[in-house]
Amino acid sequence: MKISEAVEGDNIPLWHPRCRCTTVAYFDDKIDLGKFGNVVDVDDLDVDWDLSSIHAFEKMESRNISKTLVEDIIKNGKSVEQIPNEKYAYVSPKGVVILRKDGKLITTWSEKDFDDNMKNIVKKLFGDDK
């Protein structure tokens, strides 16, 4: 965060005269998914199918994933920022879509391909009933 964007009491702690505090307030407003990324509110991105790589289409075909399923995951999933302002994972109980901000599809996989770690991420995002 840039100091110019600091708002006292909102995204930084309140200051007081002659402050010598070494403790910084912690605001747990993001769901931290470790190395996978942080949940963020971002407008749904549209897949630019012309820009998407051959690798992405090969993975879709080998994993039996349709364009409709990819678009459904993006529409109904939660966005996880993996590279700030560049690459996002859309996660839903049906699958995961990795997408660049420009719409390039990187890869995707369905729920049948989830490992235990991915199942835990889905549980953290959507609860136990998914």
Every domain of the chain and the residues it spans: 32-126
Q: How confident is the model at residue 35 (pLDDT cuts 50, 70, 90)?
A: confident
Specify the pLDDT at position 3: 73
CA separation, residue 9 to residues 12, 40, 43, 52, 59 (Å): 6, 21, 27, 43, 47
What is the average pLDDT across 5-9?
75
Provide the 3-class DSSP secondary structure of residue 99: strand
Q: How confident is the model at residue 15 (pLDDT cuts 50, 70, 90)?
A: low
Torsion angle of C-alpha atoms 117, 122, 123, 124, degrees rounded to 10? 90
From the candidate CATH numbers 3.30.2310, 3.30.420, 3.10.530, 3.10.450, the one assigned to the domain spanning 32-126:
3.30.2310
Q: What is the pTM of this model?
A: 0.73
Q: Which tens digits make up the pLDDT trace of 97-130?
A: 999 999 999 999 999 999 999 999 999 898 876 5
Cα Rg of the chain (Å, integer) = 18
Number of neighbouring beta carbons within 10 Å of residue 77? 22
Specify the pLDDT at position 33: 81
